[in-house]
Amino acid sequence: MTRSKKEVIQVAAARLFRDRGYTATSMRDLAEAVQLKASSLYNHISGKEEILKEICFETAERFLSAMEEIEKEKVSCTEKVKKLIQLHIQTATSDVTSITAFNDEWRHLSEPHLSEFKSIRKTYEERFKSIIQEGIETEEIQEGDPTVILYTIISSVRWLYDWYKPERNVSPEILKKGIVNILVTGIVK
Amino acid sequence: MTRSKKEVIQVAAARLFRDRGYTATSMRDLAEAVQLKASSLYNHISGKEEILKEICFETAERFLSAMEEIEKEKVSCTEKVKKLIQLHIQTATSDVTSITAFNDEWRHLSEPHLSEFKSIRKTYEERFKSIIQEGIETEEIQEGDPTVILYTIISSVRWLYDWYKPERNVSPEILKKGIVNILVTGIVK
DNA sequence: CCTACCGATCGGTAGG
DNA sequence: CCTACCGATCGGTAGG
């Protein structure tokens, strides 16, 4: 199974979008990255936005299906929250590029994709928030605004996408332990 | 003291950069926002990048001078870290717009500004990290990689810049209490 | 502060 | 997969 040319283009695009941003990446930049002329890209993709759209939706679907798995598990809410934090770290470290599109570049989508994307994202966040809320009700989790807790968790791993590089020799496992520890038990002794 | 036209342009630009990103904001968009023709902007500013540069550096200087104040205080490291978290929240809620440029759009700076900006930012982060490190040594703060702690803290408030709106009726004070609580004592009971 | 306009570059198409 | 090229838009300037 070799990668289709379309996949090669998508991977290169995800990297360029991360490095320069969607708007600042031209189709000529992208063409050069995959050793093609700009016009030849259009034999594989229908346009610039289609690439962004597919990156955003693929990442969103991945988060949503992981959420489904975690919801099904018969573990405490705290355990579920831990797994969700690990999921975000895993995604950010294993797929450094498309996570950017998912975090930052989706706003360049045009309608109807923009609304559809926001709605999927909203669904994911609501389900995450429900787990937090349940944890507060069962008194596993400290009293607090679930929205504040939710976004603080989601944001807290956002630095990884431009910090994490395999050359640093910091394994995702060490990161998971460290970050989960901060968020779950705090930084003070 | 009325605002100079240049300041008006900068404020409008910061808002547009936040909403659409630096690259996707055209000088014509900006001109329209301040009710001018694009060419007239150049009587007040020397170019598009100058605006970005000034927003980035002003925000950086603000963080650095706040750091100076906090370093001088005769309080525990934990207390300093708390104040730094509050500083980030304060900046994100009081100046929702320029924080974006500081977080995300600085990468569109060209040399030599890019290197200079990175260097100021690095200085800020190193000094923040020193406080964390000292806290670990004095055993106030839990054992952990100071870099991981640093970036987790800095990132954790990044959602505010597009979430925080005065209409939500969530005061910065409540946010500060909530977020500081999560980071300092964790989410579990 | 405007009108008029510059060269460069954009995303994308025609046609082979 | 390419060459050749399209109209639109970009940041910015000239000249008044």
Task: Please state the three-class secondary structure of A125-139 as a single string.
Answer: HHHHHHHHHHHHHCC
The Cα-based distances of B60 to B91, B121, B143 in angstroms read 11, 7, 29
Contact B178 A148 (CB under 8 A): yes
B1 band by pLDDT with thresholds 50, 70 and 90 = low
Any atom of strand C under 7 A from CB of A21?
A: no
Contact A181 B78 (CB under 8 A): no
Helix ranges, B138-189 (H): 146-156, 160-163, 172-185
Q: Which nucleotides of D are covered by protein (CB under 7 A)?
A: 1-5, 9-15
Q: Which nucleotide is nearest to A44 (CA to C1')?
A: D1
Any atom of strand C under 7 A from CB of A29?
A: yes
Tell whether the model's pLDDT for residue B132 goes beyond 90.
Answer: yes
Q: pTM of whole model > 0.85?
A: yes
Find the Cα–Cα–Cα–Cα dihedral B171, B176, B177, B183, rounded to 10°.
150
For B16, residues 6+ apart whose C-beta sits below 8 A from its C-beta are B25, B29, B30, B33
Question: What single-letter DSSP state applies at residue A104?
Answer: T
B13-53 tens-digit pLDDT: 999 999 999 999 999 999 999 999 999 999 999 999 999 99
Question: What single-letter DSSP state applies at residue A108?
Answer: G
Q: Which of B78, B107, B183 sits opposite A182 (nearest CB)?
A: B183
Closest CA to A13 of B62, A1, A4, A26: A26
Longest dimension (CA), chain B: 60
B75/chain A closest Cα distance in angstroms: 15
The Cα-based distances of A20 to A65, A101, A118, B32, B107 in angstroms read 29, 11, 23, 26, 8
**pLDDT value for A3:** 76
A130-152 tens-digit pLDDT: 999 999 999 999 999 999 999 99
Rounded CA separation A29/A40 (Å): 13
B158 interaction partners in chain A (CB closer than 8 Å): 155, 158
Q: Which of A21, A156, A170 sits opposite B152 (nearest CB)?
A: A156
